Amino acid sequence: MSTDLQDFRAEIRQWLDREAPTDWRSAATHDAFVESQRAWFRKLVAAGYAVPHWPERWPGGGRTLLEQKIIYEELSRADAPRLLLPFVSTYHAYATIGECGTQEQQERYLHAILDGETWCQGFSEPNAGSDLAAIRTKAVRDGDHYVVTGQKIWSTMAQYADMCLLLVRTSTEGAKQAGMTYLLMDMDSPGVTVRPIHQIQGDEEFAEIFLDEVRVPVDQRVGAEGAGWAVAQATLASERGLTLMELSYRMRGALTRIARQLTEVGRADDRGALRDLGALKIRIDAVCALADQFLRKRMNDEEQIGDASIVKLAYARCLRAYADLGVRFAGLDGQFHAPITFGDLNSGNWMADFMNSYAWTIAGGSDEVQRNIIAERMLGMPREPKSWTAEVAA
């Protein structure tokens, strides 16, 4: 590692030693958690560490991929809270508006994100989850507005959002993908109703959004009318890219939590438990190696369609194994721990982490979708292989 990168690592490590919150798991309510997230984001923005993946013209942007890796590694080492509330804003909204939005939209919305404006994502619907092309939320052009009616579901932290990345249907002609349009909707618009979804582990991380003739200005459309499917791919790609590198490093850093758990329950010398812990460490190291390989390919302009899917698939499965082992080591006491709002993989609540780990096999594209991408677009396998019975008959 060059001297400059070593100095950069030392710089961010010293800053985190001074500024990283140590009591962020103690938030007793959803509102307290949200305020702690906002405060931490403001600190990161001021220090220039919040959006290292943004272009250089933005505060803290223009970091090299190696510098981004160092930031993620040091955030994990310091056990700093992951930015859950601003996640959609700094990744999904940025990727969409930065890549597909107009110059005016970029200036209007990206500045606001750094000032604390929060976004949610309005993609999934009750009958259109994994099949995004089946959305039915309708938008009808009325002069210089679209009038939107429908429902969205599983929108992360929508109850706290100022704006929404909204995918709607403007036409039913032709292919389903051809009739989709992408809008940027103000969550304070008349006709918008948000209802949090109370989850089994005590969180209210997701919400439903009901849209009753909501008027969205045409100048808040991203891309052309009917081009929403293509724009949505920019949104989804952001979740399968460098964010997975951060998550992989955080899982490796969180492995010490399981080791501490063994000591707390008096099993520090349990050979079977140590064997399982060692196997998990090897598996996590493999996921981090895949993330590093993904980083090298991107740095060398060798990234292929499906590379991010490999990391996403490996991470999701490994996270399940991590949380499962934590629950087993925690025993009955771990199952009755009081819920922590918006559980992350390092929330302090093993049961919340275990149940949340299952969501990662769906979020950002289900495991089945990732396998299809790898099979069809990397390996060139046919979508509908010939039936072996037909071959025998022939």
Placement of tokens 């087993």 in the chain: 328
Question: Which amino acid is located at 134 in the chain?
Answer: A
3-class DSSP assignment, residue 199? coil
Q: Give which of 147, 144, 146, 122 is closest to 135, Cα–Cα.
A: 122
Question: Which amino acid is located at 309 in the chain?
Answer: S
Using CA atoms, how far residue 315 sits from 17, 56, 357, in Å, is 28, 30, 10
d(CA 259, CA 257): 5
Contacts of 340 by beta carbon, 8 Å cutoff, 6+ apart: 25, 27, 347, 348, 349, 352
* Residue 137 DSSP symbol: -
CA dihedral 296→300→302→305, nearest 10 degrees, is: 60
Placement of tokens 């006709």 in the chain: 191
> And the tokens for 270?
């349990």
3-class DSSP assignment, residue 150? strand
Could you confirm whether 239 is annotated as catalytic? Answer: yes
3-class DSSP assignment, residue 139? strand
d(CA 19, CA 228): 41
Catalytic residue among 117, 239, 264, 302: 239
d(CA 249, CA 265): 26
d(CA 38, CA 43): 9
d(CA 166, CA 152): 9
d(CA 299, CA 309): 17
* Cβ neighbourhood burial of 274 (10 Å; 0-12, 13-18, 19+): middle
Placement of tokens 């979020």 in the chain: 363
Catalytic residue numbers? 239
